[in-house]
Chains A and B, each alone.
Chain A
Amino acid sequence: MLKPTDIANPDYFHKVVDCQWACPAHTPVPEYIRLIAHGRYSDAYMINWKSNVFPGILGRTCDRPCEPACRRSRVEDETLVKGKKEPVAICRLKRVAADYKDDDDIDAKMPKAPEKNGKRIACIGGGPSSLTVTRDLAVLGYEIVIYDQDPKLGGFIRTQIPHFRLPESVIDEEVGYITGIGNIEFRHQRVDSLKAVLAEGYDAVFVGSGAPRGRDLDVPGRKEAAANIHIGLDWLSSVSFGHVTKVGKRVIVLGGGNTAMDCCRTARRLGGDDVKVIVRSGFDEMKASPWEKEDAIGEDIPILNMLVPKEVRHEGGKIQGVLFEKVVAKYDDKGRRSLVPSGEPDEFHECDDVLVAIGQENAFPWIEKDAGIEFDKWGLPQLNEKTFASTHPKVFFGGDAAFGPKNIIWAAAHGHDAAISIHKVLIGENPEERPAPGVNIASQKMGIHEWSYDNAPTIDHRLKVPHRPKHEALKDIMTEVELGFDPQLAFKEAQRCLNCDVQTVFTGQLCIECDACVDICPMDCITFTENGEEKELRTRLMAPAMNPTQDLYVADGLKTRRVMVKDEDVCLHCGLCAERCPTGAWDMRKYYMEMTQAEHACRKQ
């Protein structure tokens, strides 16, 4: 028998908000999308800023784990949306908030550092995780010192993401919001010794140094042709700082991740006419996000798959091209893939330059063996996964430096968690006890047929973000390709959001079991039935609940002793159940949930 759902547990309704649940930083997505629809861009920006620190940056570059999770992509009707069910364009709506916010208003809303509390914290690396720790702790009076080898803060955000995807002005603005808090010192200085940093007497050290080492190619000819073979990460960084401004006409990019996509598109803008991406794996298994592959192909960059580099051919150190072996994927009993030669003749591709983007690695040559930090067999620090504490009581990790290469939004999430731990340790609390999220619950009922949210779901298909014409975009490496949604398009896209944070809340004691909600529900989500085991119950609902990752909401208290079972999977949050309910047993309540940050780290679970 299924137990009645404990809706007092904040996780239950949090999970219903698929996008927020999937987001590493748990940004309250539907709330800011509604604000965008209302034209309240500054408010939408501040919700994002508080939660993920880099709305303008993430609105262009985020890996958007929220979108595959979006309920919209499960409920759309193929016949109404050109055959393709798609999520709300959450990421690009975030950018709208950043593009159209009122800058003066935002400046006024930015926090300022209070009086110093006397404690000093070092952040190693100036990337997103360090900047998040800095922001969360600077507002509490900590004095922060950030070390970075590059002349400007931002880390990989600045060095790895080409300016045609992310203009530098956006980075400057959002880094500026953090440094503007006060009590933050930036030292343009490469750290070569953790012990030396610790010797300066910091109360805590946060390591957010990323995964800075690009994996190299190991084939014959690599050394001889070195002048025209570049490690993607380093090459992008040099382009970013203006040290590299040209590339050969024919360029081969090796690798299938997002770095490879950035390399090839950058090469197109630095004189590469014939740029191709050549990948070991198949197209679908490539690590690059689908939209990044799409953008590369859109810039006339072919992606060639199932080719493994075998040899770099050169004549007296002058590169001629790369020889590839053709492979096929074979799967063993356990489903593990291996690439085996297909037996077909090798393929030779001519080129003037090769960009190697076949992976990145963590590297901590600057942490002394006796510094008190233990590493695992993969060379990653041994960390407490909850607190991000290392084996040294004063040292915490976050971002790519913690668990290997991920992305910006994970770095921000790590930063928040590490900041909570640092603060708790420094005020003498147990960092293992994590603070409860802040939850605000409010009924949305305004009148008999009125709700304080726009409850009618639209049937519009997902809108595409307008791009600059290709011939213009390819001319200049500083010209941003995406133009972003304008307010009209943003409104239309925002209306596709189902408002999943406006929850259907059921009170069994008020229900007269008239079936009105069952009859009106467009998605057949609601069933009144005898209780049973979950697996069996899922098959005998109004419509089968076949998505086990989505919960069943079970409520008792009914006169007939049956239970109300609601399949959360495909609910449109349209509120019709509540509107047709004669007794108010159903109510639409907004659950505004935000993760607690260092500022309120004492909030109890």
Chain B
Amino acid sequence: MIALLRRDLAIAVRAGGGFGLGLAFFLVVVVLVPFGVGPDTATLTRIAPGILWIGALLACLLSLDRLFALDFEDGSLDLLATAPIPLEAVVGVKAVAHWLTTGLPLTLMAPVLGVMLNLPGQGFVWLVISLALGTPALSVIGAFGAALTVGLRRGGLLLSLLVLPLYVPTLIFGAEAARRGAEGMAVNTPLALMAGISFACCALMPFAAAAALRVNLR
């Protein structure tokens, strides 16, 4: 499992892995927002937590279709499916690798972009905490979507249609926690609910994703 994690990380980081692509996309989205809504700092302050959450979510979505597709094409997914580790663990490891290469860098980059959107000082710590707790859920739910669409030709487009509605609860609680943090209110309730969703997804979604993969590999 460690070897698989290392391999996936190496593939993602090396050339053609699209490691920086998600981050660059996040940056571009955040840069585009002031052009769309105007440079008024009061408006930007108000919408900053939501924009940062949506940007992170879309950047996360961008790299999902590569999660299983490359391994499916060159046949290594078949080998992984017949390997002595369960397919659920393979899915879990791949989701972890995806999180380490997209969710974690996005979380670390969010405060920098928060400065650009004039996020209030007290909001930074809650933004980072909510993203750190929420992005694992995005990766695992995305792994399920990627497993559903792995064999399809126009999979990428379908993937976003399937995955985005599943992101709704995570987004609501995550953005709510970040917003309350920025406005100096108590964040316990949304943060706890989102952490619950996140952990439940990490615990259960690999099983659904592995079931979908088995169907697709049949």
On whether the two chains bind one another, the answer is no
B-binding residues in A (CB < 8 A): none
A-binding residues in B (CB < 8 A): none
